Structure 1
């Protein structure tokens, strides 16, 4: 398959976490896509949506290396500034993200430039790669403005599976969260 660049005048947004299942804006289309050069990682402390200052949660960021399947949303060019402003307010509210426009590959072979957010390792809320056990412990305990941190993980895994993507690192994390849930329900504590 030959790779061609899309030539339309639409604005593209790449979602790899909650944007996949809760974009919060109108899109003309939502297509499976892959971003090369970055991978999805629970590397950002959440003190707003999925945690608090007292008990931070973890949310996804794009860390360097590998590739990241996600969803590319096509937005009408006339809505671009409105969507960009909305996403800045949603994603840059104290979190360790940097705005970026990066090439993503759609399933039909087209490559589009998509607006997204990558992790900022210099930010105080950047957690880095914590490992499965440490991440699961944080995710199990955290609750924020939009709900349980573990629901964020579950919804992300389900959305990826709906697009035919099985991500071993997220499944391992989810298995550890389920194991810890069983311990809490059995009264063993964490």
Structure 2
């Protein structure tokens, strides 16, 4: 697969202006109305998804955001795929811990209904399904109830249709954010910083890795340019 040669406007220089506050990987206390997930919760969710006998020949994960550049667990095969009926969107809000603060909350990617999404398919190691599922759920479902619960989708990859697990936005969740203009989203991504880094870093890593594997997302491409403009205006205007 040929690597794209487009040059991003948003660079590591821009990202470097936005440093994390009190950097840590530890899970903070859950927000009001949510609770920390337990190991039993993850076992229960895995059983609901895979069945008590775990008799799936293959278990695939469809990644559309940070799982592309920071997989939660081991995998034995990677390929690109297209999921129809869902699209990648900054619709999961508001994050005031990991990549945002109370003053400037972050807005994360999730799959929202409609359209289509190109992403990455990871096949889990056959002998480590439960272990990998636990790591995945610890990463994506640390708090319950989840605003973007796991579900099965069909991904087209080459001449195959692969049944894969992914995380889709629950529009009934209080954390669903919609109706923002691309300029308003860029304002958020250019300013939000939390304990694990900035939204600019999250956007940069996602777009860069998508481009590296030959996936061009026009919406994210527009956002990265707008975010670079905003960061330059804030930090380089007087240079």
TM-score of the alignment, normalized to the shorter chain, above 0.5:
yes
1:98 pairs, out of 146, 149, 162, with 149
**Aligned pairs (5 A) from 1:52-71:** 52-71=101-120
- The root-mean-square deviation of aligned C-alpha atoms, in Å, is 1.7
Q: Could you tell me how far 1:24 is from its partner in structure 2?
A: 2.5
Deviation at 1:53, TM superposition (A): 4.3
Structure 1 or 2, whichever has the larger Rg, is 2
Q: TM-score, normalised by structure 2?
A: 0.70
What's the counterpart of residue 205 of structure 2? 155
Cα deviation for residue 98 of structure 1 reads: 1.4
Query: When the two structures are superposed, what TM-score results if normalisation uses the length of structure 1?
Result: 0.88
Query: Do the aligned partners of 1:121 and 1:128 also contact (CA within 8 Å) in 2?
Result: no
Query: Quick check: 1:41–1:129 contact (8 Å CA) kept in 2?
Result: no
Between Structure 1 and Structure 2, how many residues are aligned?
A: 180
Deviation at 1:37, TM superposition (A): 0.8
Q: Which residue of 2 aligns with 1:116?
A: 166
Unaligned runs of 5+ in 2: 1-55
1:1-190 maps to which residues of 2 (within 5 A)?
A: 9-45=57-93, 46-94=95-143, 96-107=147-158, 109-187=159-237
**Deviation of the 1:150 alpha carbon:** 0.6
The structure whose RCO (Cα within 8 Å, separation 6+) is larger is: 2
Shift of 1:123: 1.5
Stretches of structure 1 that go unaligned for 5 or more consecutive residues are 1-7
Report which of the two has the higher share of strand: 1
